[in-house]
Structure 1
Amino acid sequence: MSQIDTLPPLREVIRTHELQAKKALGQNFLLDLNLTLRIARTAGDLSQTTVLEVGPGPGGLTRALLVAGAKKVVAVEKDPRCLPALAEIAAHYPGRLEVIEADALTLDLAGIAEGGPLKIVANLPYNVGTQLLLNWITRPAWPPEWQSLTLMFQKEVAERIVASTGDKAYGRLGVLAGWRCHSTIAFDVGPKAFTPPPKVTSAIVHLTPRETPLAVDLKALERVTAAAFGQRRKMLRASLKALDPDAERILEGIGITPTRRAEELDVAQFVQVANAFARG
C-alpha cells in the first residue's frame, strides 16, 4: 500500500491510538488509502465544496478527501477514541478539517451547508447507514442542502437502493431513492479492504438529487410502500387493505389493476397510488 500523504500509515495510527473497531458502533475501518482516494474522486470536483464525512474513524477517507482537494471537510465522529487521530490530520491540513463529536442521526445539515456547496462522502457505519440515507433523501425541503451522496453500504443494501421495477432487490428503499434521486453503484469493495474484514462485499453508491421529483405526500408514499412490500407476495388489493378497506376501489379508480403485486409497479405508479390513498 503506497501513501497518499506524509502522515503515518493507517495501521500505525490504529496501533498508536488503540483504535480497535467496535462492532457495536458498526465500525469497519478502510486501510487502503488508494481505495479511499478512489472513493473521494467518485464524488467529483471537491475544490469548491464542503464535504460532510460521517464516521471517519482513524481518518483514511478523511485524508483522501483532503488530498483530492476538498475545500473543507466536516467529519462527524461519535467515537471519542478517534478524536486524537483526527486532530493530527487537522493539524496537517490547517483550516481545512473540522471535527465534530456527535451522532450523525441528529445532525443539522442546514448549519453545515451554510459554508457553501455540500457533498456527503462516507464509509457509513453498517448499523445506521440505511437510516442516514433515508434521513437525507426524505427531507421536507427539496432540492436538498447536498449536491451529491457518495456512500459505502453492504452490497445487498446498495443493490436495493439502485433497484427498479423487475429487479430482485426492488423494494421500498428503491422506490424512495428512485423518487428523489438518480443513483448508481460506482464499484464494489471486497472484505479484505477493511479491518476487521466484514463477512460481506460492500459497494460505493453515488446519488444525485432529481431537480423536480413527482409531487407526492411523503408520509403517504412511505405508508403505501411499507404496506405493499411488507406483504410483497400478496396482490395490492390485499396488501393495501390495511391502509383503506376500499383499496380495490381506489386502485381501480386510478387505472392500477388490483391483482398486481408491489414489484410490478414503477416509482411513478407508486406516487400515483400514494396520492390516491392520501385522498381516500
Structure 2
Amino acid sequence: MATIDGLPPLREVIRAHDLVAKKQLGQNFLLDLNLTAKIARQAGDLSACDVLEVGPGPGGLTRGLLAEGARRVLAVEKDARCLPALEEVAAAYPGRLEVINGDALEVDVLSHLTPPVRVVANLPYNVGTELLIRWLTPEVWPPFWESLTLMFQKEVAERIVARPRTDHYGRLALLVQWRAEAKIVLHLPPEAFTPAPKVHSSVVHITRLAEPRFPADGAVLSRITAMAFNQRRKMLRSSLKALAPDIEARLEAAGIAPTQRAEEISLEKFCALARGFSA
C-alpha cells in the first residue's frame, strides 16, 4: 500500500508524529494497510460515492478508502495530534480528502457530503454504538447514507445481527433489522491493533432498506422493546403490564403468547404489537 500512495508505513507515521493511542478516546490503531484496504473493499464500489469516516487516527483506513477509489472522503477526527498525519494523506490525494477536527457526535457532516454517501469507519469503542443508533434513527427515512461498514467489538457485532432465541438478541438487533440488512463480513483478532485490545473485533456491513421491514411507529416500538428487554427473563405479560391493563389481550392479538419472553419474539410480532398500541 505504501508503494501505491508513496506514503510511509503506518508504524513510521505513528513514530514520526508521536501518536500514542489514548484509552480515553477509545483508540486502537489498525496498522496493516493490506487489512485496511480489505475493510474498504467490504463497502463495495466507492468510485461514485462520498465516504464518511469517523475516527481515522493516523489514516490507515483513510488510505485504504482512497486507494480503493473512493470519490471523496470526509474524515472526522477528535484528536488534534492526528491532524498532521492526515494532512500528509490529503496531500497525496489532492482534492479527495477533507478532515474535520471535531467530535462526531456534535459535527454537522451533511453540509460537507454529496450523495450518494457511504459510512466506513473503525469506530472508537466509546462512541460506536451511540453513533450507530443515531444513524439508524433519523427524523426522516431513508437516511443520508446508503450503507454503513463499521468495526465494533465482536460482541456488539453479534448483537447487531442476532436472531430470536439467541443470547445476543435484543433491542439493538431489532433497531438495525427493522430498517436495514446487516451481516458480519470480517473478524479481526486483538493483535491486529496497536495497542491490542482485550476483545476481538468484527466488521459489520449494513445496507439501508427503502422503508422499514414492517410498518410500525418507531417511538412506540422503541418503548415496547425497551420494557420487554429491560426485564428479558420475565414473561411479557409481566414485563409489559405497565403499558396497558389488557396487555394479555393485546399480546394475543399480535400473535404473541403472554407467557413468552422478549428473546423469543420476532421483529414482525413486535411490530404487530406496536401497531396495536398505535391503533
Please name the residue that 1:223 is paired with.
223
Please name the residue that 2:96 is paired with.
96
- Following superposition, the deviation at residue 130 of structure 1 comes to 0.6
User: Conserved in 2, the CA contact under 8 Å of 1:5 and 1:67?
Assistant: yes
- Following superposition, the deviation at residue 247 of structure 1 comes to 2.1
Q: Following superposition of structure 1 onto structure 2, how do residues 81-120 of structure 1 map, counting pairs within 5 Å?
A: 81-113=81-113, 115-120=114-119
Rounded to whole Å, the distance in 2 between the matches of 1:201 and 1:254 is 39
Rounded to whole Å, the distance in 2 between the matches of 1:72 and 1:229 is 40
Please name the residue that 1:188 is paired with.
187
Q: 1:215 to 1:108 in 2, by over 3 A?
A: farther
> Structure 1, residues 75-96: CA drift from partner, whole Å, max 9, x if none?
0001111111111111111100
Please name the residue that 2:260 is paired with.
260
User: Conserved in 1, the CA contact under 8 Å of 2:254 and 2:269?
Assistant: no
- Following superposition, the deviation at residue 3 of structure 1 comes to 5.5
- Following superposition, the deviation at residue 4 of structure 1 comes to 4.8
User: Conserved in 2, the CA contact under 8 Å of 1:234 and 1:261?
Assistant: yes
Q: Does 1:50 align with 2:70?
A: no
Give structure 2 stretches of 5+ with no counterpart. none
Q: Per the alignment, in what secondary structure is the counterpart of residue 169 of structure 1?
A: coil
- Following superposition, the deviation at residue 262 of structure 1 comes to 0.6
Work out the percentage of aligned pairs sharing the same amino acid. 62
Rounded to whole Å, the distance in 1 between the matches of 2:250 and 2:107 is 39
User: Conserved in 1, the CA contact under 8 Å of 2:76 and 2:101?
Assistant: yes
User: Conserved in 2, the CA contact under 8 Å of 1:4 and 1:34?
Assistant: no
Q: Does 1:236 align with 2:236?
A: yes
Please name the residue that 1:64 is paired with.
64
Give structure 1 stretches of 5+ with no counterpart. none
TM-score (norm 2): 0.95
Q: Following superposition of structure 1 onto structure 2, how do residues 16-55 of structure 1 map, counting pairs within 5 Å?
A: 16-55=16-55
User: Conserved in 2, the CA contact under 8 Å of 1:90 and 1:98?
Assistant: yes
Q: Does 1:135 align with 2:134?
A: yes
**Which residue identity is paired with 2:107?**
L
TM-score (norm 1): 0.95
Please name the residue that 2:14 is paired with.
14
- Following superposition, the deviation at residue 109 of structure 1 comes to 4.5
Rounded to whole Å, the distance in 1 between the matches of 2:211 and 2:227 is 26
**Which residue identity is paired with 1:75?**
A
> Structure 1, residues 148-176: CA drift from partner, whole Å, max 9, x if none?
10000000000000111122211110011
Equivalenced residues, count: 278
Q: Per the alignment, in what secondary structure is the counterpart of residue 144 of structure 1?
A: coil
- Following superposition, the deviation at residue 277 of structure 1 comes to 3.0
